[in-house]
Homo-oligomer: A and B are copies of this chain.
């Protein structure tokens, strides 16, 4: 059965990759699974009809017959379990790949997404600029740790496909890190 996902009618970042349907689209394209897309406005995303699919009024969602999923990580994992090619076959290699999937969502993304949230929730506050400095220090520290493990070259590619490259703090990373190994060691 052809699944249907939801995506923004007009992405807040104008389609630069920050909206989370991008990961799901990418996984579906990688495995060659045809899919439908239902476009939503920001206000439709918060209405009861959509909240019945996604309790937090966000996107993407994934509908396939009787099954409705939300959370981009869970949807990508569901696709990876039903199609070959996205996760290794070997048990230990698979567990390591899943570890990095959780790390991307739960350890790397949150400080970066905090910057997005700060630009929405804190922009009108007198302390906005000072808060940005704190947030960007955290991003630098986290991406520095990631780069130490993966190498600056791979980090630059990851940043680029995730839309993080739109942030000056991320753009500044590769230059500062080119002296390090660019060979991934994970």
Interface residues of A (CB under 8 A from B): 51, 55-58, 66-67, 69-71, 73-75, 77-78, 81, 92, 95-96, 98-99, 101-103, 105-107, 109-110, 113-114, 117, 121-122, 125-127, 130-131, 134, 138, 142, 145-146, 148-149, 186
The CA-CA distance from A66 to B142 in the complex, in Å, is 26
The CA-CA distance from A125 to B130 in the complex, in Å, is 9
Contacts of A122 in B (CB 8 A): 131, 134
B103, A70: Cβ atoms closer than 8 Å:
yes
A69, B99: Cβ atoms closer than 8 Å:
yes
B92, A145: Cβ atoms closer than 8 Å:
no
Chain copies in the assembly? 2
30 intermolecular pairs with C-beta atoms under 8 Å apart: A51-B148, A55-B145, A55-B146, A55-B148, A55-B149, A55-B186, A56-B103, A57-B145, A67-B92, A67-B95, A67-B96, A70-B99, A71-B103, A73-B106, A74-B95, A74-B99, A74-B103, A77-B98, A78-B98, A81-B95, A106-B106, A106-B109, A114-B114, A117-B138, A121-B134, A125-B130, A126-B127, A127-B127, A127-B130, A131-B131
B102, A71: Cβ atoms closer than 8 Å:
yes
Task: Give 5 nearest A-B pairs by CB, closest first.
Answer: A127-B127, A71-B102, A55-B149, A74-B99, A74-B102
B131, A127: Cβ atoms closer than 8 Å:
yes
Instruction: Say what secondary structure dominates the interface of chain A.
Output: helix
Contacts of A96 in B (CB 8 A): 67, 69
